[in-house]
Amino acid sequence: YDKKITIELLAIEDPSEVDALDFKAIQLSVDVVQLRFKTRRRNSDGSISASFRSSIWKRTGDQWQMLFHQGTATTP
C-alpha cells in the first residue's frame, strides 16, 4: 500500500472500536526505538480481529517520526 491508497481505503472504511495493548518499547540506538503492541478491533458485524504491530521511530531534535510500520494478523 502507498499513501494514496491508504487514504482512499480509510475514507471508505466502516468506523470500528480498536483497543491497543501490551506496549513494549525497545531502544535500538540513542534516537531509534521499536514499538511493539497488539490491537483488537471490533468490526461493524460484531466480529473481532487482532494484529501484532511493530513500528520503528526516529527522534530528530524534539520530534519523533515513524519510519516503518507493520501489522501481522493473529488470533483475537
Question: What's the rounded mean pLDDT across residues 5-29?
Answer: 91
Give the angle 64-70-73 at the CA atoms, nearest 5°: 140
Q: Are 46 and 17 spatial neighbours (Cβ–Cβ below 8 Å)?
A: no
- Predicted structure pTM score: 0.76
- List pLDDT tens digits, range 19-67: 999 999 999 999 999 999 999 998 888 899 999 999 999 999 999 999 9
- Under DSSP, is residue 12 helix (H, G, I), strand (E, B) or coil? helix
